[in-house]
Structure 1
Amino acid sequence: MTSTVPAVANLNKFEKLKAEKDGLAVKAELEHFAQIGWEAMDEADRDHRLKWMGVFFRPVTPGKFMMRMRLPNGIMTSSQMRVLAEVVQRYGDDGNADITTRQNLQLRGIRIEDVPDIFRRFEAVGLTSIQSGMDNVRNITGSPVAGIDADELFDTRELIQQVQDLITNKGEGNPAFTNLPRKFNIAIAGCRDNSVHAEINDIAFIPAYKDERFGFNVLVGGFFSGKRCEAAVPFDVWVAPDDVVALCEALLIVYREHGLRANRQKARLMWLIDEWGVAKLRSEVETQMGRSLEPAALKDEILWDKRDHIGVYAQKQPGLNYLGLHIPVGRLFAADMFDLARLADVYGSGEIRLTVEQNVILPNVPDSRLEPLLQEPLLKKFSVAPAPLSRSLVSCTGSQFCNFALIETKNRAQALIDELEAELDSPNPVRIHWTGCPNSCGQPQVADIGLMGTKVRKDGKTVEGVDIYMGGKVGKDAALGTCVTKGIPCSDLKPVLRDLLMQHFGSTLRQPVAAGS
């Protein structure tokens, strides 16, 4: 099954690019690209079509590409982590990996000459980066403690893998879903705390019981963009777990065939919902599936506040535990990655999990190995008990590696939070999210305090600054925050954040330590 997208008058640049050559076509050309080098490549292939393979040209680091993985439900093995560590290790100071807000990893420093060999290494351990960029379905998120959480309602792991296999043809690439109008996010939640941020996905499945049957209510249309941010709306559909894959397929086909394509700023699913209404979208999906869908259950099971899973927790398997490690701003270097793989093997079952808060979970640690694991040197860097403000800090890549970012985020975010931790006593974690541009990869709209990069004027010069968002709520009754202050220069930000933390979140100034004490 391949796309049969109708002709669009006045195709924009990207629709023309896709009409000329499917993004997956470059899969057969990777060896050629490796031989000729990045500077000799066709620009459309280099700058755009490579993204269908998960390889991203970055003008701010010419010749050094980013590679985005696909890690369904954020789960990987120690063997896979070692391969990724070996990949970034060879690039020295340029090589690292960032955990994303979709339970995924992005590798930095990649050279096009190495891509064919990297893909061979990936294939040997069951990794793929296929269809992870441009107008494709992005990494599918689920509960980071699926299958090990004593309180879960449904183990999402197999279902998420099935959806990934549908979309990517089991990692080989699937032309049926390589020409969507825009990118598309899917989340499947099996727990009561909305660990997937359902409200910001194009389609999200949240647990709900109907006549004592377990299944999912469905939300549609959530998205962030530079022009608009919207929370997902109820689809008035309830599906049993066995119907999740079929519903994803049908909705993707309807979106592929009917989604708006003339203006890329108005091409996400919500714009089609604006035009059609939810009832018509549901009718078209039912037609595609060849049957009617049940209306939504009257209530869902998202009843808890959001958990961040940092710390030590007993699993539902007797005698086993999982450890949630705080990874400052989600950044990993090769040595960290090798060490995480070692810890997973020595103390756990060789499994590593990622969270949407950019942290790591080591599952299946027996009671008898807990104490030795907690004494490992790496856990001083990646703590199970970080300070309150550091604990919930999230940041996008920033201008160090991303050409869309208007400001540097990761290094600045960490430095600023360290200074605030030294000055303030904070009774509870405060979710502070940084994003370098309006594309909102750092998701400031779901934060207690969100910081969106911008350019501002100060002393007659253009400098890096932020717009401040507040009021984002996660977990039950999730809601998006709004912009409350515009144009704060980054150099003036610390006192502003300090005041917000003291006025709204109960932080107090630390008392100075008396001399000689």
Structure 2
Amino acid sequence: MTDTATTTTTSLNKFEKFKAEKDGLAVKGEIEKFAALGWEAMDETDRDHRLKWVGVFFRPVTPGKFMMRMRLPNGILTSSQMRALAGVVQRYGDDGNADITTRQNIQLRGIRIEDLPDIFNRFHAVGLTSVQSGMDNIRNITGDPVAGLDADELYDTREVVQQIQDMLTNKGEGNPEFTNLPRKFNIAIAGGRDNSVHAEINDLAFVPAFKEGTGDWGLGTGEESSQSPIFGFNVLVGGFFSAKRCEAAIPLNAWVSPEDVVAVCRAVLEVYRDHGLRANRQKSRLMWLIDEWGLEKFRQEVENRLGKSLLPAAAKDEIDWEKRDHIGVYKQKQSEFNYVGLHIPVGRLYAEDMFEIARLAEVYGSGEIRFTVEQNIIIPNIPDSRLATFLTEPLLERFSIDPGLLTRSLVSCTGSQFCNFALIETKNRALGIIKALEAELILTANVRIHWTGCPNSCGQPQVADIGLMGTKTRKNGKAVEGVDIYMGGKVGKDAHLGTCVIKGIPCEDLQPFLQNLLIEHFGAKPRQEALVTHWSVDHN
């Protein structure tokens, strides 16, 4: 490494100091010791920070009960893996549950430190890992949720996503090469035409594109190989959300073949690791480095690490469909097979749900389960002959294949129930308000409403039709929970971020506000001709 290796200890912020003292991955060998000590006797830096390198998160709002974040490349797991996760959650009774995340991943709640050795053994037995899933590491790598199933896909993302995971984590054992980034890092690979991975909000994203003309595209030698358009990816860099700044990813002006995706990931990460800004945590994401250097210098440094020139981007990418949510029943490319998307309200699962999903995947499908970035579940490979019976299963009454038009697109972060960063409660409130709005209104199209409990934007309000960001506000002279309202986010083709249009709406006033917003901007109609209080986005 270059820049970080020469930085003096006195100039480091507290996070860089404790990383310099001891690599976070070192705690992987200390789990037995921590279990024997108990959480209260642990070194605070190990407990509060370094445990995140193995996917274990101390939560002050639930002292003694930790959150655990997995790594599920492309959001795919097996029924045996789901059963192992369910068994862990089941152990913790009322405190045990799991949340599907907006990165096709899952987080478990209620974990006790003394149970970590047994939990890690259970995970190892079924091929699960949580390594490098928190702090200054690469987050779960997202890919197309219907990869290998969709007859219209351009590229099956599953194998390359797994290859990136294996490279970054040493096949789940931990890789010190990538355990000390300046901040977290998100990678996404789109394989279809509808941008199912929300490429624009990732630090590094690959979107499908055909390169016209001639040339050996994999090697960049310029040797003539074909007159036909060649499939590959245009590269986007720098997208991120933070409390200080939110930016959409920008084109790197680079096109890469599928065979070069892993090498390009490595090159970009090495440049970011060695040169990313580390003095100020608020300015440590990749886009800040690109701002400081300029895009051309950044691209040149990536080429230096890659050992060859990058070809210019294809003239256009192939993201030309509106975003699909994959809820419902769909034919697969495999004849006489179907995949079924189940809506999981705000992504919350309990042990009995998880066991039942595993059973359904085995009885009706191939034992495979997939997560989407909308916090929902897909069960693939259900034969035509079994589909009708599958659709009568009682679980589908709660996890619907045809939810209401507001419920269908609802996304929420964890909220203050479990997260100490959240300023408001989100999941239960979101469900209650949406249920009331659907009872009051008739809608003709989906409206994507995203909730996030704080400016860290885990619930991604900037990509929603209506985004709600938790805040503290005042009403009648008293501090109350409130939200800032974002509008205008677009996903799929021509994706872009929304902006804040009004600040500080008290949560207790939110339902009538949203009702009028839906009527004025999204064509909703009241179910009854009742007087509706007139709020609007320019209300003060």
TM-score bracket, normalised by the shorter chain, equals: over 0.9
Alignment of 1:302-313 (within 5 A): 302-313=319-330
Give 1:247 deviation, angstroms.
Answer: 0.3
Query: Aligned pair 1:6/2:6, yes or no?
Result: yes
Counterpart of 2:131 in structure 1 is 130
Match of 2:161 in 1: 160
Q: Is the 8 A contact 1:197 1:475 kept in 2?
A: yes
Q: CA deviation at 1:510?
A: 0.7
For 2:235 and 2:498, locate their aligned partners in 1 and report how far apart those are by CA, in whole Å: 22
Q: 1:467 aligns with which of 456, 461, 484?
A: 484
Aligned equivalents of 1:415, 1:511: Cα separation in 2: 20
Work out whether residues 238 and 297 of structure 1, in 8 Å CA contact, stay in contact via their aligned partners in 2: yes
- The one-letter amino acid of 1:295's match is P
> Counterparts of 1:186 and 1:54 in 2: how far apart (Å)?
18
* Aligned partners of 1:199 and 1:219 also within 8 Å: yes
Q: Distance in 1 between matches of 2:3 and 2:78?
A: 34
> What is the alpha-carbon distance in structure 1 between the residues aligned to residue 132 and residue 40 of structure 2?
23
Query: Using the alignment, how far apart are the partners of 1:282 and 1:36 within structure 2?
Result: 48
Q: Which residue of 2 aligns with 1:393?
A: 410
Q: CA deviation at 1:458?
A: 1.1
- Structure 2: stretches of 5+ with no match in the other structure: 213-228, 531-540
Tell me the residue number matched to 1:144. Answer: 145
Alignment size in residue pairs: 513
Query: How far 1:7 moved relative to its partner?
Result: 1.5
- Report the 3-state secondary structure (helix = DSSP H, G, I; strand = E; otherwise coil) of the residue aligned with 1:63: coil
Partner residue in 2 for 1:337: 354
The amino acid across from 1:434 in the alignment is W
1:65-464 equivalences under 5 Å are 65-211=66-212, 212-464=229-481
Distance in 1 separating the partners of 2:83 and 2:437 = 35
- The code of the aligned residue for 1:214 comes to F
Q: Give the Cα separation in 2 of the matches to 1:277 and 1:313.
A: 44
Task: Please tell me the residue identity of whatever aligns with 1:296.
Answer: A
Are 1:188 and 1:206, in contact at CA under 8 Å, matched by a contact in 2? yes
- Secondary structure at the aligned position of 1:142 is classed as coil
Question: CA offsets, 1:283-313, max 9 Å, x none?
Answer: 0011111111111000000000000000000
C-alpha separation in 1, matches of 2:404 and 2:475? 33
Q: Deviations over 1:349-370 (max 9, x none)?
A: 0000000000000000000111
Q: CA deviation at 1:2?
A: 12
8 Å contact from structure 1 (residues 3, 176) kept in 2: no
Distance in structure 2 (CA, Å) of the matches to 1:7 and 1:511: 66
Identity of aligned residues (%): 77
Letter in 1 for 2:324: R
Q: Distance in 2 between matches of 1:278 and 1:2?
A: 20
Q: 1: distance between equivalents of 2:481 and 2:114?
A: 35
- Output the amino acid matched with 2:275: H
TM-score by length of 2: 0.94
Q: Do the aligned partners of residues 380 and 5 (structure 1) sit closer, same or farther apart at CA in structure 2, a change above 3 Å counting?
A: farther
Corresponding residue for 2:226? none
Distance in 2 between the 1:90 and 1:235 partners? 47
Q: How far 1:3 moved relative to its partner?
A: 11
Mapped to 2, the partners of 1:3 and 1:99 lie a distance apart of 37
Deviations 1:236-271 (A, max 9, x none): 000000000000001100000000000000000000
Offset of residue 15 of structure 1? 0.3
In 1, distance between residues paired with 2:158 and 2:49?
31
Residues 209-242 of structure 1: CA deviation (Å, up to 9, x unaligned): 0021000000000000000000000000000000
Structure 1: stretches of 5+ with no match in the other structure: none
Aligned pair 1:503/2:520, yes or no?
Answer: yes
Counterparts of 1:137 and 1:460 in 2: how far apart (Å)? 43
Does 8-17 or 379-388 show the bigger shift?
Answer: 8-17
Measured after TM superposition, the shift of residue 511 of structure 1 is 3.1
Indicate if the aligned counterparts of 1:327 and 1:358 stay in contact, CA closer than 8 A. Answer: yes
1:173-227 CA-to-partner distances (Å, cap 9, x unmatched) read 0000000000000000010000000000000000000021000000000000000
Residue identity opposite 1:137 in structure 2: I
Q: Runs in 1 of length 4+ with deviation above 4 angstroms?
A: 1-4
Q: Is the 8 A contact 1:2 1:176 kept in 2?
A: no
Q: What does residue 493 of structure 2 align with?
A: 476
CA distance in 2, matches of 1:4, 1:277: 20
For 1:460 and 1:512, how far apart are their aligned partners in 2?
34
Q: Distance in 2 between matches of 1:346 and 1:59?
A: 41
SS in 2 for 1:433: strand
Offset of residue 5 of structure 1: 3.5
Per the alignment, in what secondary structure is the counterpart of residue 204 of structure 1? Answer: strand
